Structures are given as structure tokens and as C-alpha cells.
């Protein structure tokens, strides 16, 4: 019997000597496997000892994470799921987790401290109050309206940021940099729109000051990080750790950021971060090829009752769909990226999707299509239409999403709601079985593309085939075309 417990890498620095420089709002799995790891790497080199993280949040889930992490001195277990062998480490770059309060008083007070020079966020793609119809900041959102009326007791991260910036300005302290680490195109611009837009609702002069003096660098982030469940907790136990919130992730990670930090920043370039003014090019590549690739393989796997992403990648029809759509209808419209071969980048993506240790689920990839499709698939479709190129594969991807939202797999298994707008999507998907054009009429997803007759015809062709012949037969037809 093998009783050997694998080794866990521990911080090599004295955590008692760390002082805070960053407040991070929305401390979930991705942050702990990404920014916190880069900072931990730097600290292990003997640097960035004054850049430790204070965790923070404004939601109930943040309070539960706080309770879990405080019991282990804010150490995070990060397990890299390399097919050649799993590796675990304890990440020590966070030294405290602020109380999660209804009025965010502790959070505001911490961000107002002069040693805090960066406020970073992972509040999910849907947490920036973007109006679906316009793609712009939504000043009518209830939480935003609350913070505009009660700026001293905000309920949103953006309201808390504004309250802290106001305190710093009154005290003559330079503003911190606000850095989004969420997977959004132009995430710095989106964050600035939310912060400045909220300020403008109650104090236009202060909004102008924020616009002029606060930096919001854009960044591209990338690392596949599954949700934590019983399997992930069991992995931690294998390493001798009783951790209720371990993080598992793939070995690959990438971070590309604009170097716009007036108040200073850690020397992250020493641990692999790319600082460049061309973030938009890396971002477009990642969103089109990786996130778009996830959307391509999600719904056929879901309809064929495949549970895991690596299992979907073993199915020749699904990998055939992925290869054909990526190479014919996605990659041709991705602009050149500095020092990057797009073909090699796609090959790496394919390998990452196939990693069996990650155990990422098809259901996770199918989640929130109403938010992801307009960002990850529709831009490629729009470019292909403009170039009069092939659109069959992208139309099939949209048809697969529509068929999935009807709520049953090909075997008749009921699909549990998997989108914030599930009821609306399901009703439309069922109606689209008889009238496919109603699906394309979702302006928040397709904009004005529903007027394109070629799109209408190819979408209807594939949707009708999915209903008549099923997913496998439809994929076979597509690949043979």
C-alpha cells in the first residue's frame, strides 16, 4: 500500500513581512489561479513584498469565501492539472480578506489607504452593468440607481471604488489604478465606463475628475479554471490538505496588460506577464479562437449527452467541427498578433481542451450563451459575411445553441436551465423550430444580422436538419460538405 503524500510547494518568503498594495474585489477561483499566482511567483523571487493582496467582495459568495480562507490564514491551494503529473502549491500572496458588508465600509476604508495602489476586479463578465441592447453601460440597473442615490453606502464594487477615490482626493492622496481581470473585450474601457458612468449620475464634476486622473488599463487573461466541487476537494486531500476551497487549473496561463499604472505596479514582467500597447490584438485572438472554440464544442457535446470537454475532444465529429470552423471561418479574420503564429496558437488551444485532468464540463461551456455568443461567435460571423466568405460552420454553431436552448438533448434528456435568460431563450428556441428567423431576431445577440438573407437561409437549413436528423447526422453532413 502506497501511503506517500505528494509534496506541496510552500511560499519561500516570510508572509509576516508582507504589506498590502492591492485590493482585489471578487475573489474567486480564477483570481486565485491567475493574478495571485503571478504575484506569488514574484514574491518567491524576493520581490514585491509591499504588493500583497487584501481580498474583498460585495456579494454573499464573497462572504462565504472569506470565511473559508480566513480559517487557513488566507492561503490558497492551487493544483495544476498537468497530464504528466499533478502539482500543488500554497499561494501566500493574499494576507487578509476584508469584511463583506452591506455598505462596503471596510472595503472603502481599505481602498482609501495610501499604500493601496491597485484595485483589481474579477466580478464576472456579467458584473459590469452592460445593457444587452446597446452593449454600453446601463445607468438604469437597480443596483446602479441605488448607488447613485446613496453614494456613501454603495452595494456595487464600482460604487465602493468611487467612495474610496473621493476620500483619497479629499485627503490629497493620488488615485489607485483600477484593473479588471475579467474576460471582456476592452475590459479596462468597460470598467472605466461603469465607474465614470455611475459617478456622472450623482456628481458630474467628480466624474470628470475620475475620467482625467484614474487609470484603467486593458488586459487579456487566460487560464482554464474549473469550479470547485467534491472532486477538487478530494484532490486536495491527496496532497494532505483539508481545504474546503481548493483551486484546480490547467498548467497554461497567459496575461497581457497595458503598462498604464501611474501609482506603480509589481514587476510582473519578470514572471511571464506581457506588457504591451497591443492588448486588443491578443484579446481578439483569444476571444475568437479560444472562447469561440469553447462555444463551438459546447452545444454539440451538450446535445449528445457528453459530460466532459476532454471527452468531447475525443469525438471525431466534434473535433472535426472545431477544426473546420476555426480554420475556415474564424482564424482567417483574426488580425496579426505580435510574435504569435495563429496556427500554432490554435494547436495549443486544441491540446488544452483535450487535457483530461482538467475535467472541465460541457455544461460549463454551455452556460450563459446569451452573453457569450455575441462576444465570441457573432463577431467572426459578421466578418465572414462582410468578406463574402463561408458562414456554414458558424451558422451551424448558432443552430446548435438554439437547439440546446429548446431544453432537451437528442436522447430526450431534459436540460436544466443554463442561462440567466433561460425561460426566454427556451420559448424562442421552441418557436424557432417552426420559424427559425425568430431566433436571429434577438437584437442583443445578432444586432442587425437578422436582415441578412444568406444568414437566414443557412441558419434555417442547419436548425431544420438538427431537429429532423439529430446532432451526429448533422455534423456528418457538415463535415462532408
pLDDT at 124: 87
- Shared domain check, 289 and 271: no
Strand, coil or helix: what is 248? strand
Structural domains counted in the chain: 2
Percentage of the chain modeled with pLDDT above 70: 99
Of 277, 305, 338, the domain-final residue? 277
* Mean pLDDT, rounded, for 91-108: 97
313 shares a domain with 388: yes
- Residue where a domain terminates, one of 277, 311, 331: 277
Helix (H) / strand (E) containing 25: strand 20-25
pLDDT (tens digit per residue) in 255-294: 999 999 999 999 999 999 999 999 999 999 999 999 999 9
Neighbours of 10 (CB within 10 A): 12
- The Cα–Cα gap between 149 and 202 comes to 7
For the cut 80, the answer to whether the pLDDT of residue 204 exceeds it is yes
Mean pLDDT lowest for which of 107-111, 199-203, 312-316, 357-361?
A: 357-361
Residues 271 and 341 in one domain: no
Q: Residues 383, 339: one domain?
A: yes
- pLDDT higher than threshold 50 for residue 1: no
Across 435-464, average pLDDT: 96
Nearest by Cα to 145 from 101, 193, 201: 201
Q: Which residues of 455-465 are buried (b: 16+ CB within 10 A; e: fewer)?
A: bbebbbbbbeb
Residue span of the structural domain in which 216 resides = 8-277
Cα-atom radius of gyration of the chain, to the nearest Å? Answer: 23
One domain for residues 261 and 289 = no
pLDDT value at 3 more than 60: no
Do the domain assignments include residue 1?
A: no
- CA atoms within 13 Å, Cβ hemisphere of 222: 28
In terms of Cβ atoms closer than 10 Å to its own Cβ (0-12, 13-18, 19+), residue 231 is exposed
Q: What is the pLDDT of residues 379-400, one digit of tens each?
A: 999 999 999 999 999 999 999 9
pLDDT-derived band at 135 (thresholds 50, 70, 90) equals confident
Q: Assess whether 250 and 294 both reside in one domain.
A: no
Looking at the structure, do residues 263 and 351 belong to the same domain, yes or no? no
Task: Note the pLDDT of residue 169.
Answer: 98
CATH of the domain at 131: 3.40.50.720
- Tell me the mean pLDDT in the region 360-376: 92
User: What average pLDDT does this structure show over 414-422?
Assistant: 96
Q: Are residues 215 and 307 in the same domain?
A: no
Q: Quick check: 132 pLDDT over 80?
A: no
Angle at 335 between CA 349 and CA 282, to 5 degrees: 55
35 and 77, same domain (yes or no): yes
Characterize 242-278 residue by residue with b for buried, 16 or more Cβ atoms within 10 angstroms of its Cβ, and e for exposed. Answer: ebebbbbbbbebbbbbbeebebebbebeebebbbbee
> Which ranges of 225-368 would DSSP assign to H, the alpha helix?
230-238, 279-285, 292-303, 309-312, 316-325, 342-353, 362-366
Q: Is the pLDDT of residue 237 over 60?
A: yes
Q: What is the mean pLDDT of the chain?
A: 95
pLDDT of residue 4: 60
In this predicted structure, what is the pLDDT of residue 2? 47
pLDDT (0 to 100) of residue 234: 95
Domain membership of residue 2 (yes or no) is no
pLDDT of 203:
97
Q: What's the CA dihedral at 220, 223, 224, 230 to 10 degrees?
A: -130
- Using alpha carbons, select from 43, 38, 39 the residue that is nearest to residue 11: 43
pLDDT tens, residue by residue, 79-89: 999 998 999 99
Query: Buried b vs exposed e over 356-378: b needs ≥16 C-beta within 10 Å?
Result: ebbbbbbbbbbebbbbbbbbbbb
Tell me: do 258 and 316 sit in the same domain.
Answer: no
In terms of domains, do 405 and 363 share one? yes
Q: Is the pTM here over 0.85, yes or no?
A: yes
Asked if residues 455 and 395 have their Cβ atoms less than 8 Å apart, the reply is yes
CATH code at position 325? 1.10.1040.10
Cα separation, 401 vs 297, whole angstroms: 10
Amino acid at each position: 500500500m502506497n501511503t506517500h503524500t505528494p509534496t506541496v510547494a510552500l511560499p519561500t518568503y516570510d508572509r509576516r513581512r508582507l504589506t498590502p498594495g492591492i485590493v482585489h474585489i471578487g475573489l474567486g477561483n480564477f483570481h486565485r489561479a491567475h493574478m495571485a499566482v503571478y504575484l506569488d511567483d514574484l514574491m518567491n523571487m524576493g520581490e514585491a513584498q509591499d504588493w500583497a493582496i487584501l481580498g474583498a467582495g460585495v456579494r454573499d459568495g464573497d462572504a462565504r469565501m472569506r470565511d473559508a480562507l480566513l480559517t487557513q490564514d488566507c492561503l490558497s491551494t492551487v493544483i495544476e492539472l498537468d497530464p504528466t503529473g499533478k502539482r500543488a502549491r500554497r499561494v501566500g500572496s493574499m494576507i487578509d480578506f476584508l469584511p463583506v458588508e452591506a455598505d462596503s465600509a471596510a472595503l472603502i476604508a481599505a481602498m482609501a489607504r495610501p499604500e493601496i495602489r491597485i484595485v483589481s476586479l474579477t466580478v464576472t463578465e456579467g458584473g459590469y452593468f452592460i445593457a444587452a441592447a446597446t452593449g454600453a453601460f446601463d445607468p438604469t440597473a437597480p443596483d446602479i440607481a441605488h448607488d447613485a442615490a446613496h453614494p456613501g453606502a454603495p452595494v456595487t464594487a464600482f460604487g465602493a471604488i468611487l467612495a474610496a477615490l473621493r476620500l483619497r482626493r479629499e485627503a490629497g492622496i493620488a488615485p489607485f489604478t483600477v484593473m479588471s481581470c475579467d474576460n471582456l473585450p476592452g475590459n479596462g474601457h468597460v470598467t472605466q465606463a461603469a465607474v465614470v458612468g455611475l459617478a456622472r449620475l450623482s456628481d458630474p464634476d467628480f466624474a470628470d475628475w475620475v475620467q482625467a486622473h484614474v487609470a484603467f488599463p486593458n488586459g487579456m487573461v487566460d487560464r482554464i479554471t474549473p469550479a470547485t466541487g467534491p472532486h477538487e476537494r478530494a484532490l486536495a486531500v491527496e496532497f494532505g490538505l483539508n481545504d474546503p476551497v481548493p483551486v484546480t487549473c490547467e498548467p497554461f496561463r497567459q496575461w497581457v496588460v497595458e503598462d498604464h499604472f501611474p501609482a506603480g505596479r509589481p514587476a510582473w514582467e519578470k514572471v511571464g506577464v506581457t506588457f504591451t500597447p497591443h492588448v486588443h490584438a491578443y484579446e481578439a485572438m483569444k476571444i475568437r479562437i479560444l472562447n469561440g472554440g469553447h462555444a463551438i464544442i459546447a452545444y454539440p457535446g451538450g446535445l449528445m449527452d457528453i459530460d466532459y470537454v476532454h471527452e468531447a475532444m475525443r469525438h471525431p465529429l466534434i473535433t472535426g467541427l472545431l477544426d473546420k470552423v476555426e480554420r475556415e471561418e474564424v482564424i482567417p479574420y483574426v488580425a496579426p498578433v505580435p510574435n504569435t503564429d495563429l496556427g500554432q496558437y490554435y494547436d495549443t488551444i486544441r491540446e488544452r481542451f483535450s487535457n483530461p485532468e482538467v475535467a472541465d464540463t460541457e455544461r460549463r461551456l454551455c452556460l450563459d450563451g446569451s452573453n457569450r455568443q455575441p462576444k465570441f461567435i457573432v463577431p467572426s460571423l459578421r466578418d465572414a459575411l462582410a468578406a463574402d466568405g463561408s458562414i456554414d460552420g458558424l451558422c451551424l454553431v448558432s443552430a446548435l445553441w438554439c437547439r440546446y436552448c429548446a431544453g432537451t438533448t437528442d436522447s430526450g434528456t431534459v436540460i436544466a436551465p443554463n442561462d440567466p435568460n433561460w425561460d426566454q431563450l427556451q420559448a424562442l428556441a421552441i418557436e424557432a423550430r417552426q420559424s427559425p428567423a425568430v431566433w436571429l431576431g434577438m437584437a442583443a445577440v445578432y444586432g442587425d444580422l437578422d436582415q441578412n438573407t444568406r444568414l437566414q437561409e443557412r441558419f434555417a437549413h442547419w436548425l431544420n436538419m438538427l431537429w429532423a436528423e439529430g446532432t451526429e447526422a448533422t455534423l456528418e453532413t457538415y463535415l462532408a460538405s
